[in-house]
Structure 1
């Protein structure tokens, strides 16, 4: 394990890996309908049908309708170009920032699932663009506070126009940022205060958040895409059942092969464990992208109805981990461009 973390990847190898993954994604894009089951294309069919057969201006406004409106505005050709550009941008991004062997291993595993899930019209394509913008913001010479404010604003805007639960992710990111920036007794007080605030929120809010899982699975028993679904550990009953149900979902995600030993479960758990290892090995737990990944995962444990939808949503934000700078001694800290001695003082002023 130490060798995975310490072995450095040279720039030429990163370029080769990016080219290979781009070619592999191209093959998946052109032949995915041959080898992928039909349920991989359910979202695409829903969006396409909305564009073709529905008056989007007067139809019920939900996440599918809002997404369909975006694709309808830019047209079918540009929609395909958008998802191809988004996929290519993510591949180049993760390969460019795969400084160590463990990064490269995770990049290959993540990009395989990423290409399988996202090379088709879906709600996730817009989320990928959103998170790419978040990564670009974090590459700017701004303070963590300013970066976090911009990212939270972007998530709130997306929540307003597309999926309302992204507002909960934004609030959680902000809460984690406040806690990460505190120390000692202040941190303890903040955590206690936030827990008390959660208890004060009406139980209906927590019930709706948890019941989404059971409602989604109510009529799916026996369907082709129901093999990886699961229900809540406890019947939703206010804030008291949130933690047990969320922990049960996290256990299903991390230890999926214990419940069903198939290739899907093994790949999912391996990807999630590698993501966790890559995140924490960076040692940069107050970084905005660390908080983004953590908040997305936590909220997923509240309501994801099955392993497949969890994995699909995970692929749309997990690549952000590559934007988290390693906190390590200077002789071990990877940097795409070496800093000249005369530039050191200038650089420190903006870090």
Structure 2
């Protein structure tokens, strides 16, 4: 069932519809924002996630450019890769599932190897409240009590999605806590700009505005050191196909997985910068990623199963079908506070960070 939310002037602000139910019976809704050109995004209450995003190609044809599922329950399986979901409180990895902050030691869930990945997934795999809607935006909200999953502070995160007339999807993360604490929110969408259900990510062109990456050990946990990108298979300082070097051996890349690495963006002052540009030459679609955070994780779905069958119709989520471009603080910054660029949540002061996905067509 669909329901149009109407403002005082009688204009359609947001279209709400029922998406489905989780195995425990929890109902999940979709909120659709459409701009005047007909492009639109659908956002789900589960994990405050992006369920679909339709933007035009060079001929004006709309196609869905994010991976995902027809069934909300499929989103709750961590092996499916957090498709389109918000990640919090702390995205990416925390070594040994612990860290010390302001003199206190905190212990977080061990949900991969001996470490924490994406804070254990609670923010991603549970429903959020819709707090507000407007002409072109939806605000999702989630409260996390003190020491939930080991993190300090009574913590409220709001995520405001705005979809503009020029096909920009703006994500504003707004956080309040009653105690100094840590935060590293991101969105985990996987982009495939082709509009073709059978095309993998290798054919896309990518540029990342970075000269360094975070060096990692055999578990892909940061060592605290930075490595130079120039001349390596990880270097995307000039645009080239993702598949050109993805299978080449390199110390920071796991054989058969390919890119799953944090790139250190050039600006470290927490102001907006262009982080990455993704292009699909056949369709003419172009995505520019802007952020005020200092890092971006490039992950091309190399851990996903090659034989998955779930997806949206025939648009299946599986190995190397999409590229995640996760804006973030560097992984495990909580254990490298003196060497990685950091900004933390101050008690009773709003913490805010912004990421924009700007879509256009290649001239």
User: What TM-score results when the alignment is normalised by the length of structure 2?
Assistant: 0.25
Q: Return the structure number with greater strand share.
A: 2
Q: Return the structure number with greater helix share.
A: 1
Larger gyration radius, structure 1 or structure 2 = 1
User: What TM-score results when the alignment is normalised by the length of structure 1?
Assistant: 0.26
Relative contact order: is structure 1 or structure 2 higher (C-alpha 8 Å, sep ≥ 6)? 1
